[in-house]
Structure 1
Amino acid sequence: MYIKTALSMYTSYLLLGMVNIILISNMTSLTGQWSTDSAGISYIISAIGIGKLLTYALSGRLSDKFGRKPLVIFGAFGLAIFLAGIPLAPSYQIAFALALLAGCANSALDAGAYPGLVEIFPKSAGSASVMVKAFMAVGTGLLPLMISFIASKGMFYGYAFFIPAAVYFLNMLFLITVPFPNHRTVQASEMDQSNGSTKFLSEPNFKKEGLALVVIGFTSTGLFTVAQIWLPSFGQQVLGMTEVQSIKLLSYYSVGMFVSVLSLAILLKKFLRPVTVLVIYPIITFTSIVAILTIRSPEIVSVASFFVGFSTAGIFQLSIATINELFWKRKGTATGILATAGGLASVVMPLVTGFMSKSGNIKFIFIFDAFLSVIGLVCALFVFYRYRKLVEGHREIEFNKGDEKVIDKMS
């Protein structure tokens, strides 16, 4: 019933994958248009993060109050306006305002789509959330091809913005027509009507497992942000790689991400729980970073880059799936809080690591990255422990109650 709805939301994320790199991919044209430099473009990119950071919490509350559909529609509309407006923006100030709008629209899309997908696919919430990352990866891969085609034809660079803007607008019109699950009805159906309790042994505590998941949202975003920014620099400064060779490290990193999200989409349905992956992946990340720091071989670093990408992909989405399962009465609010932590990391990490790079020793940045993975692992172990206690303990009690009923009937 809701397959078209889900595909439409995934389409929004495919286009969001383009949005995430579209400014940096058109830097030469944009710097000339607004008479600025690369730093100026980076500030506009940071404005998107600021817009997300300022509105995630509000978007989450609105999602719980008014439902998922209005937020998803606004997200598509706002991002369409951003894409259509940037090539036509006559001044730097207007472009900055459009970037803030894009951040607000991104937060609205997340606050509506993540809970919405969990409600559409309640039995495979982890896979549904991870597929968001897969569609974004596809969009990230398609945009450079589109830009290359437009450049080869001598066309106006703005067409790379106008085409996804048009698709966003059409997708918004389609979203208006499709049904969404009623979030209040979903919440009511998730209640155990037999005794009026929840599906947990005791009510989850946001100050415990909720806070731990919020920290994971921060560390997971920090891990892939740091890796994306500094892997090429590490290759050049420490390994003596050429610029072309060092950029290939990001290619290996991206391939690892794509393999990861496809694998998770399959394995999470039958073999793994999201909370289990939250524990396994930080271990892989830590091991890979240690290999990068200690085995200074281009071949080893290339392989390690693949595994860093593999183990950081989808963690943010799985933490959202887990927090939505535990705090299902306030999915939008929980998503907004966790996403705020991720938005904070996307703004803070470049600043912190940029300051660290001034020391002249880029290894300190990757030592810091390893430290982030350890923090994520500790929080994941705590969430895993609490999850088993709350969920598995409840199921064991329910199983025993079922046995008692059978015995009573037999007697």
Structure 2
Amino acid sequence: MNKKYLPSALILYLNYFIHGIGCSILSQQVVKELLAEQWGTGDIMGVTAIAAALGLGRLISLPFAGPLSDKLGRRISVLIGCTSYVIFFVGIAFSPNITVAYVAAVLGGIANSFLDTATYPAVAEIIYKYTGIATMGIKFFISIAQLLMPFFLGICAGTKMSYLTLPLVAGIAIAILGALAIFAPFPKVEGVGKSESLINNLKNAHFSAESVALILIGFTSTATFQLWLNCAQTFGKEIAGIASDQVSMMQTYYSAGTMAALVVTSLLIMKVKQVRFLVIYPLISVIMLALVYLVRTPQICYIGAFVIGYSAAGGVLQMATAVVNDLFPKIKGTITSLVMIASSLCNYTILTAAAKMTAESVIVMNIIITVIGVILALFVNVRYGKLLKNSNQEA
């Protein structure tokens, strides 16, 4: 890795620290209650529907965000992402009703698309010897933000500030990072600047059933942690009997588990193929989700938060993205788009469905989807060696 790109990598990773705030702010019980009152919905699960709009924004933008990243370069996509995120944070903080909030959330999803399709390839190009570790670093910075979320909320409460001060500060921070990205150096990569449209790229790609399974893991892996992230605190409070002032600590345990997984997996990934974790971690998630559903105590919810953070949010989506990037090295931005389209489709459809379900039903749905993810990953693992060999021959 060229040391001159280290500041650029840091800027890219810090964007995801802010993204960690953005993707979890709407899942915090105290924020959901505040926004439900501000919007006059009277139902905190309605806020989950706004979180689902993030997925809609991603679905709208991902088909062209990836090819634009390949064609115009990573810097332009980062700037578009940062600008859209500023609008999202300000929109959520000042939204007078659910309609304005919905539009802001769609823009937040668009921001996420452009950051994803620029940052995943960019960090893999900077830290090219360890692409899995490079992409897992993105999740690490997201997890740091989510780990600190209860403390950020505590600062707001302790200083008598509105909880919505947090998105305002996040918006200012990502605006500054966007300005820094204008001057940051990015690696020159063969093929960037010559990319075709998403459709043309797909026509030239040679997909197999295993490749499609990998892309679908983008859906299942996202479902596991998004359903937990957005609905577990409600389950903990309503079903397991955790006190209102304690339930946000589930976020801390969840983020601590995620960070632990990122550290441990980064060490293991040098000895164990990253594709193996696509089976192991979801299987752990299935077992833990079943225990939470059956036992229903505060203690099991806290343990479950840590384990789900470790196994579901600890880099499965990032490793799946790294694997497909290895299989399609010439269209990294485009193939990242496909995985993220699957992820976004999940975010929109599954969270929209969850907004109309009980907390118990959400856990059951999560178990079923995660089991499907395990089956897909087993299928990929059986054929991965041949897929990688074919990819190297084509390159």
CA–CA distance in structure 1, aligned partners of residues 391 and 100 of structure 2: 54
Q: Are 1:379 and 2:379 an aligned pair?
A: no
Change over 3 Å in CA distance of 1:295–1:168 after alignment to 2: closer
Change over 3 Å in CA distance of 1:56–1:185 after alignment to 2: closer
Structure 2 counterpart of 1:281:
281
Which of 47, 53, 65 in structure 2 is aligned with 1:47? Answer: 53
Structure 1 counterpart of 2:123:
117
Q: 1:183 aligns to what SS in structure 2? A: coil
> What does the per-residue CA deviation read over 1:246-280, in whole Å, with 9 as the maximum and x for residues that have no partner?
66555433322221122223332x22322121122
Change over 3 Å in CA distance of 1:14–1:352 after alignment to 2: same
Question: How many residues get paired?
Answer: 377
CA–CA distance in structure 2, aligned partners of residues 219 and 247 of structure 1: 25
Q: Are 1:153 and 2:153 an aligned pair?
A: no
CA–CA distance in structure 2, aligned partners of residues 304 and 80 of structure 1: 33
RMSD (Å), alpha carbons:
3.2
Mark the runs of 5 or more structure 1 residues left unpaired by the alignment: 189-202, 398-411
Q: Are 1:21 and 2:14 an aligned pair?
A: no
CA–CA distance in structure 2, aligned partners of residues 103 and 232 of structure 1: 23
Greater shift, 251-260 or 52-61, is seen at 251-260
- How much does 1:236 deviate? 5.9
Q: Aligned letter for 1:252?
A: Y
Instruction: Give TM-score scaled by structure 1 length.
Output: 0.80
Do the aligned residues in 2 keep the contact of 1:239 with 1:297 (CA within 8 Å)? yes
Identical pairs, percent: 32
Q: 1:123 aligns to what SS in structure 2? A: coil
CA–CA distance in structure 2, aligned partners of residues 46 and 97 of structure 1: 12
Do the aligned residues in 1 keep the contact of 2:57 with 2:106 (CA within 8 Å)? yes
Do the aligned residues in 2 keep the contact of 1:127 with 1:266 (CA within 8 Å)? no
CA–CA distance in structure 2, aligned partners of residues 32 and 236 of structure 1: 19
Structure 2 counterpart of 1:181:
187
Q: Are 1:167 and 2:173 an aligned pair?
A: yes
- How much does 1:304 deviate? 4.3
Q: 1:206 aligns to what SS in structure 2? A: coil
- How much does 1:303 deviate? 3.5
Change over 3 Å in CA distance of 1:147–1:70 after alignment to 2: same
CA–CA distance in structure 2, aligned partners of residues 139 and 55 of structure 1: 25
Change over 3 Å in CA distance of 1:39–1:293 after alignment to 2: closer
Structure 2 counterpart of 1:340:
341
> What does the per-residue CA deviation read over 1:280-329, in whole Å, with 9 as the maximum and x for residues that have no partner?
21222233234445566665564344322211121111111111111111
Change over 3 Å in CA distance of 1:77–1:336 after alignment to 2: same
Structure 1 counterpart of 2:358:
357
Greater shift, 373-382 or 83-92, is seen at 83-92
- Structure ID, larger Rg: 1
Do the aligned residues in 1 keep the contact of 2:147 with 2:251 (CA within 8 Å)? no
Which of 45, 53, 67 in structure 2 is aligned with 1:61? Answer: 67
CA–CA distance in structure 2, aligned partners of residues 161 and 251 of structure 1: 19
Greater shift, 233-242 or 376-385, is seen at 233-242
Change over 3 Å in CA distance of 1:41–1:371 after alignment to 2: closer
Structure 1 counterpart of 2:198:
none
Greater shift, 117-126 or 5-14, is seen at 117-126
CA–CA distance in structure 2, aligned partners of residues 305 and 214 of structure 1: 26
CA–CA distance in structure 2, aligned partners of residues 88 and 41 of structure 1: 15
CA–CA distance in structure 2, aligned partners of residues 184 and 50 of structure 1: 32
